[in-house]
Structure 1
Amino acid sequence: MAVPTNIKTLLSGNVVEWARIEFKETWDADASLKTICAFANDIDNWGGGYLVIGVREKNGRPEYPLQGVPAEKIDGYLKDMLNKCKLLQPEYLPIVEVADYEGKKFIVVWAPGGNSRPYSAPKNMSKDNRERIYYIRKMASTIVPSEAEKRDLYNLANNIPFDDRVNHEAELADLNITLIQSYLKEIGSSLYQESESMDFVDLCKSMNIISALPEYTKPKNVGLMFFSLEPERFFPYAQIDVVEFPDDTGDRIREKTFKGPLHQQLREALLYIKNSIIQEQVIKVDGIAEARRFFNIPFAAVEEALSNAVYHKGYDVREPIEVRVEPDRMIIVSHPGADRSISQEGLREYRVFSRRYRNRRIGEFLKEMHLTEGRNTGFRKICNALHNNGSPEPLFETDEERTYFATTLFFHPDFVKKELDDSQNDRINDRINDRISDGNIGKFNANDRMVLEAIQQKPYLTVAQLVSQLGISESTIRRAIRKLKTNGFIRREGANKNGIWMILK
């Protein structure tokens, strides 16, 4: 039975994180069974992992030239592996494939997260050993869990992630063979060739997208999300809504909805955004041969933010992913919010390390298709793309109840409308005069008005730039800003250097 990826992909480390791969020169039952046990326990919901036999490793990476497994030893290794895996409790068998690569043979063992956690393995292979250990995987090491981690394992026993659960309302016929084969071909899996003649049930079992019980064959949620023609039948509002507000009045709205298999709706939504929303500007600078090129919003940041929303959305929540496109920003909202291990302060400072992923299987498929990055790298990629484009820093938000997660990507300052139209200026000035006449802010002097007008025209100005433009002292500028913020006229979004001022309406 083949694994749902290929050895070239595993050796590159570009799709499957190194922490989920372990390399062994030979089959060593004493050490390797512990690793299989740890992957099966999948304490952090990574999606299990891979054991590649026939590869020397150095610092967790494959060492070249590749060694391979001698052909005459393969049969013996496989028989011993089967016998030793029977020592795992509860019963668990990984999926094993003999792969050919660069003229040599390798044994690839795929150990996905099991459905009957926690699993234990013998402490050693001696005949008189009676001690069993619940091994877990941390970073790139197989370890004995602490008491707290052991409690976590027991808590996971009845907590299978939603995407990995069996869907009792669906049938095997709801999975589409064409979608499955298209996916296998795209990722270069050896299963693609076998799928032409392979029994459909065996194919689905190899991909771990159906229940393994012979008497009760039902699709898993992740199989329906990617390989059903209409996943919204089983997961209402499993869709992406792109809503555009061309102006700030809210009178005109353009809305487009993307449905279908998750990877298809993601790609279609990204293509629409790339063709209809993203704009490029080229500015020729005197004395410089190369023109300045930048976008209102860089595609790489949008791609990562929207892919992360698809990855981390709760598909048992009946809410779509919404992409709101306003005159000066794009806001991507999904439900529910971030895991409670991610603090509000960490979000503000872009320091994020999630203890567990909500959808371990969805992540596997998206990474195989290069639609999302590895562990906890999304924020960094978004920030780098915005920085390279000269855009303000992003804003990541969730609420205390963790009901939503919002990513705000601000447009490049040169794309933000620099001068408000007369009617909007009149509305703001009327509101200021009304508040002054009501006695809400005390004396609103000329310097306060100058600062507000400057911010209206150029929302990206920093305090230093306001000092230079207005010709008044920094302390006066800061006093005016404090008064305007305290009384609800303005707020700052993003960092001091790359943020943007918002006029509150």
Structure 2
Amino acid sequence: MKQRIFISSVQKEFAEERQALKAYLLGDALLSRFFDIFLFEDLPASDRRADAAYLDEVRRCDLYLALLGNEYGAEDVDGLSPTQREFNEATRLGKTRIVFVKGMDDAGRHPKMRALITMAGAQLIRRRFTTDTELIAAVYASLVQYLEDTGVLQFLPFDERLHPEASLDDLDPKTIARFVRQARYERQFPLAESSPITNILTHLNILREGRPTQAALLLFGRDPQRFFPSAEIRCMHFHGTEIQRPAPFYRIFKENLFCPHEEVASGRAAGKTDSESLHQVRRVS
């Protein structure tokens, strides 16, 4: 599902920049896969108060993007402009905010706009721009950073990545305990079965930032298919050493990696006897 960006600014002052940003972001091969853009001027005429409409859109958005310039905008009875109210609402709701200020100094700005820029600067990192090209480059960099920070874009190897929806609660403590018990018996694993799960995962290098890596989900997950629908183990059993078609036994396992391993090793999955062998075990992910 695409994330929604709310672009906030004085419309007349930034009419060109607003349209340029929308056209660029929706036309970019990468960003268009992840974002939709909201501009207030795209709303059709309706029997709604303007302030109710734009504040509702702020609530619906995932990112709030502000363009601040010289003009403050039309003030309501409380002396606040739409841009000010939008910024305040995004702040109140804890939305991710990225703010861009036009111009290298604050000369000529409305006093309330200077105050808004100062307020924003006390809460987050602003970026200044003078041209559309500079603005687009700065917005692009911020959005790519956002995608990296939220785990949507990842440049680590698959096993080392964090899944954006996974937490330690998605791991099966019984499977981890069974692994530790077997590893201590066969490989002199140094940690006890009663050790905290985070200590075990850290020792195995499958914990990052307090969260399980994708490798941990495949190894110990309660339901790996929830995160990786294509992750499965396919087991084929043959009588003797010759490959036969169709295989006498063929089964697809969709549990974590240790569940089918234990079944296959014990022979329960294929009804294995001393004179039979498991010819192929293949992981597909």
**What's the TM-score bracket when you normalise by the shorter of the two chains?**
0.3 to 0.5
| TM-score, reference length from structure 2 | 0.35
**TM-score, normalised with respect to structure 1:** 0.21
